[in-house]
Structure 1
Amino acid sequence: MQKEIEIAVSPDFIQDEKYIRSLTAKQLKVAENRITGLYVRKRSIDARSRQVVYRMRVVAFIDEPYIAPSYHADVQQVHDAKPVIIIGAGPAGLFAAYRCLERGLKPIVIERGKAVRDRRRDLARINKEGFVNPESNYCFGEGGAGTYSDGKLYTRSDKRGNVQKVLQIFVQHGATEDILVDARPHIGTNKLPHIIEDMRNTILNCGGEIHFDCRVDDILVQFGKVEGVKTSTGETIKGDHIILATGHSARDIFHLFKNKGWLIEAKPFALGVRIEHPQEIIDQAQYHCSTRHENLPPAYYSLVEQVDGRGVFSFCMCPGGIIAPCATDHEEIVVNGWSPSKRNNPHANSGTVIQINMEDVPNAATDPFALLAFQQAIEQKAFIMGGGQLVAPAQRMVDFVERRVSNSLPENSYKPGTRSVDLGEVLPDFVHRALRGALPIFGKKMKGYYTNEAILVGVESRTSSPVRIPRDKDTLQHPDIEGLYPCGEGAGYAGGIVSAAIDGINCIDAIKI
């Protein structure tokens, strides 16, 4: 017999398997020797009271052989199978390719950027020299933006598809089994590249294709149906099904649609700054302690507040993390955050953003590029205010709220460097007013948050795409083009690694064969 129960475990005993087994037996009111094995289904940290505990749902096997949970994908050899062209090798594209192997289709993945290891040289140059390669950066390349932006797998996308399957595929390719049980699963930027490489090898070994340093410059359409693509290498690749998974920063694809007269539309996105604190401030506030317990991970937070009818919220919070330069072109500043698997850096950062609505930008209802142009103009202004070489405009938190330029800036994790400015000159008026109103309130919600030890770094502007490529809700195809499946964050249908992966799977499942 199997029974599932919830137990609360002190951090002191979270690594003590014998104690957990004993606690489970006691709660089930059975002799400990009757439990042949147990596994954790879900695990989360409950820090609502001063006594922080792990809450765990465990499945106990009683008086029957223990069988550990396992997952094995049923992939096929597809060397000579029907091809599916997949534009982009981010989470949506890679999981679309993987799903092709399960369905007996041949994925042909076309990625403008480099293989994951080769990207590192370009990322190093971004951090050291402030130079951006428009084809290889934190957003473009194998694994997409997710590879070098943390690998957070927390999602609310359960209704969109099988979240557990996505996590299991990651485990199959090298992620720890912790991601299957943790309430806020996380892989870590240091581990993701190896996992992405393993996924690539699975795709290639089964007969799929992946083309790096190969940008799609044209989508070939005849009589309203896709016929293939033309690439920057001069090659024409034929196929009558195309998954368009280019990510939220492939602006050239949006321009391609505009030039072709294909339907696209403006879409709301969020804009703000990345805020960084010393990690110990967040730990002390969330765990109600002076020093974090060695068996507790660096603490995270989630904050939201309404200011003058506008939502201000934290986004993509990175405990023990790094602020990264994520521009995709010259003379623009974009920041994001990531953490290594151990989350052992001394700082914690989070995007803190405000929703940009259609009515905030003139002509957004009629011009599909209005919000994109708005986004781009702010990124370029941030570059100018930073003074060049990807130095980011920044300000201490209390100084920002009280409208004074900081005399100095605290030590921070943004490697290209920061420059003290009035961020009110970078951000639109309604954005910085909402931020100024929200930050002191956040400080009342979380002790220690509102402090001049915290730094605001601008700008966090790529939370999602400011353009949507529409698709039919049933067929998932573009309404103008048969066989074209807009997919993932770049098309406006996902908001993170897991939701993008699910969307890639769903688009392949929409193909009728």
Structure 2
Amino acid sequence: MIQEIELKLLPAEAGNEEIIRKKASQQLNIPSSRITFIKPDKRSIDARGKQVVYRLKVKVYIDEQPSPEFFNISYPNVNNGKRILIIGAGPAGLFAALRCIEHGLKPVIIERGKDVKQRRRDLAAINKQGIVNPESNYCYGEGGAGTYSDGKLYTRSNKRGDVNYVLQTLVAHGATDDILIDARPHIGTNKLPQIIVSIREAILNAGGEIHFDTKLVDFVIDSNSIKGIKTQKGETLEAEHVILATGHSARDIFYLLKNHNILIEPKPFALGVRIEHPQQVIDQAQYHCDVRDEYLPPSYYSLVEQVDQRGVFSFCMCPGGIIAPCSTDFDEIVVNGWSPSKRNNPFANSGTVVQINLEDVEGSTNDPLSLLNFQAAIEKTAFAQGGGDLRAPAQRMVDFVSNKVSADLPVNSYLPGLKSADLKEVLPPFIHDRLRKALPVFGKKMKGYFTNEAVLVGVESRTSSPVRIPRDRETYQHPQIKGLYPCGEGAGYAGGIVSAAIDGMNCADAAYKTLTQ
């Protein structure tokens, strides 16, 4: 017999198997000796009451042993399989490749950036010297933006595909199995590179190919069908099926599509700032304590408010994290956040952004790149206000709301450095004004949030793609170009590692279906 129950545990009890067994036997009113196995299904923290507790949903096996659970990670050899060209080695591209291999197809991945090991040198140059390599940075390279941007796996919707399959695949390649049960699973920037290397090796060992430092510069199209691509090396790579998984920072791809008169569309996105607090402030607010319990992780928050008929919300919250410089060109400021697996840095940061609709940007009805150009212009303004060398314009929170330039800035995690500035000179009025109204409201929702100990850093602009590449709902192919599969965040169909991975697999499934019809 199997019973599904939920246990409420104190933080010190949550990792103690003996206490969990005892509480399960008490709740089911059976002797502990009859419990043969307890399988955790979901774990979450409940901080709504005075006492912070863990809620643990489990399956309790009574008088029977669980059946062995197998997750097959063995892949066939596809050296002689039909070639599928995949542009981009982010989550969408890598999981598309794995799914191609499962179908007996040979994936050939083209990645403009470097492998994870080589990327580290370019990230060091960004952080220490303010030097951006436009082809290898926090956004471009093996694993995509997710590799060095935290590894949050919060997606729990199975509407587009099997979330658990993605998580199990990550576990098979080295992630901790905690991600299978945590309500807010997270791998950590320090652990993701090894997992990405394992996935790369699986693709290569199965007969797939991965070409780093290889940039797509043109499409080969004949009679409205894809025939291949051209690279910056002067090569022409032939393929009748191309999965385009380049991520939403690859603006050159959008310009290339437009130059070919291939249909693209402007897409709403969100833009604002990244806000950093001392982690202790967030812990005190969320856990209702002076000092966080040693058995509790650094706390997170999620805030949202409607201001003047527009959503203002926190985004990509990083407990115990740092603010990272994610620019992809020399003259722009783009910030993001990440956390290591232990989330043990002294700061907490979160993007805090305002929804941008088509009517907010002039020309959006005529120019599919209008929102992209709007985004890029703000990033260049932020660079100018920061004064160069990737220094970011910043303002203390209360000063921002009071329209006051901060006399100084708090100690913070942004390594290239901050410059005190008036963010009104960076953000458009409809964004600036809504943020000013929202922050005091957030402070009423979460005690201690509205404080001058917090700093606003500009700009958080790459929340999602400002462009959508349309595709057919059934075939996943572009409506004009046969064999071209727009995929992942860059095409406007995903938002995060898990959803991008699922979309990559869906595109691979669609390509396989087309090939076998």
Shorter-chain TM-score tier: over 0.9
Match for 1:444: what amino acid?
K
1:3 maps to: 3
- 2:369 aligned with 1:365, yes or no? no
Q: CA deviation at 1:14?
A: 1.2
Shift of 1:28: 1.3
- Which moved further from structure 2: 95-104 or 227-236? 227-236
TM-fit CA distance, 1:68: 5.4
Q: Indicate whether 1:490 and 2:490 are aligned.
A: yes
2:223 matched residue in structure 1: 223
Greater mean deviation of Cα atoms: 149-158 or 493-502: 149-158
- Once the 2 structures are TM-superposed, how far is the Cα of residue 74 of structure 1 from its aligned partner? 4.7
Q: CA deviation at 1:310?
A: 1.2
Residue matched to 2:140: 140
Name the TM-score, length of structure 1 as normaliser. 0.99
SS in 2 for 1:214: coil
Match of residue 50 from structure 1: 50
Query: For residues 204-257 of structure 1, what are the alpha-carbon distances to aligned partners after superposition, in whole Å with 9 as ceiling and x for unaligned?
Result: 000000000000111111111111111112222111111000000101111111
**Equivalent position of 1:166 in the other structure:** 166
Which residue in 2 is equivalent to 1:336? Answer: 336
Partner of 1:180: 180
For 1:436, the equivalent position in structure 2 comes to: 436
**What is the deviation of 1:131?**
0.7
Structure 1 gap ranges (5+): none
Deviations 1:285-339 (A, max 9, x none): 0011111111111000000001111110000000000000001011100000000
Give the superposed CA RMSD: 0.8
**Structure 1: how far apart are the matches of 2:481 and 2:500?**
22
CA distance in 1, matches of 2:498, 2:83: 25
Corresponding residue SS for 1:341: coil
Which position in structure 2 is the counterpart of 1:118?
Answer: 118
In structure 1, the partner of 2:397 is: 397
Deviation, structure 1 residue 70 = 3.9
The one-letter code sitting in structure 2 at the alignment partner of 1:30 is I
3-state SS of the aligned residue for 2:473? coil
CA contact (8 A) 2:46 2:52 kept: yes
2:89 maps to 1:79: no
Match runs of 1:444-459 below 5 Å:
444-459=444-459
Instruction: Work out the CA distance in 2 between the residues paired with 1:48 and 1:173.
Output: 35
Match of residue 22 from structure 2: 22
3-state SS in 2 of match to 1:407: coil
State how far apart, in whole Å, the 2-side matches of 1:487 and 1:285 are. Answer: 40
Q: Which runs of 5+ in 2 are unaligned?
A: none
C-alpha displacement at 1:69, in angstroms? Answer: 3.8
Aligned to 2:252: 252
In structure 1, C-alpha distance between the alignment counterparts of 2:19 and 2:475, rounded to whole Å? 52
Paired residues of 1:397 and 1:452 also in contact (CA < 8 A): yes
Provide the C-alpha distance between the structure 2 equivalents of 1:142 and 1:70, rounded to a whole number of angstroms.
Answer: 29
Cα pair 2:331 2:383 within 8 Å, conserved? yes
Counterpart of 1:236 in structure 2: which amino acid? T
Structure 1 letter corresponding to 2:30: V
Matched residue, 1:474 = 474
Deviation at 1:3, TM superposition (A): 1.5
SS in 1 for 2:448: coil
Give the drift of 1:61.
1.3
Q: Secondary structure, in 3 states, of the residue corresponding to 1:481?
A: coil
Q: Give 3-state SS (helix, strand or coil) of 1:284's partner.
A: helix
Which whole-Å CA distance do the structure 1 matches of 2:126 and 2:400 have between them? 27
Q: Percent identity?
A: 68
Q: Distance in 2 between matches of 1:352 and 1:85?
A: 37
CA distance in 2, matches of 1:58, 1:168: 18
Aligned to 1:265: 265
- 1:379 — aligned with what? 379
| Corresponding position of 1:508 | 508
Conserved? CA contact 2:443–2:450, under 8 Å: yes
Counterpart in the other structure of 1:287: 287
Contact 2:156 2:163 (8 Å CA) reproduced:
no
Match of 2:203, SS state, is: helix
Which structure 1 residue ranges, 4+ long, deviate > 4 Å from structure 2?
A: none
Matched, 1:239 2:239: yes
Q: Distance between the aligned counterparts of 1:29 and 1:172, measured in 2?
A: 37
TM-score by length of structure 2 reads 0.98
Determine helix, strand or coil for the equivalent of 2:12. Answer: helix
Residue type of the partner of 2:480? D
Give the direction of change, closer, same or farther, for the CA distance of 1:35–1:238 in structure 2 (3 Å limit). same
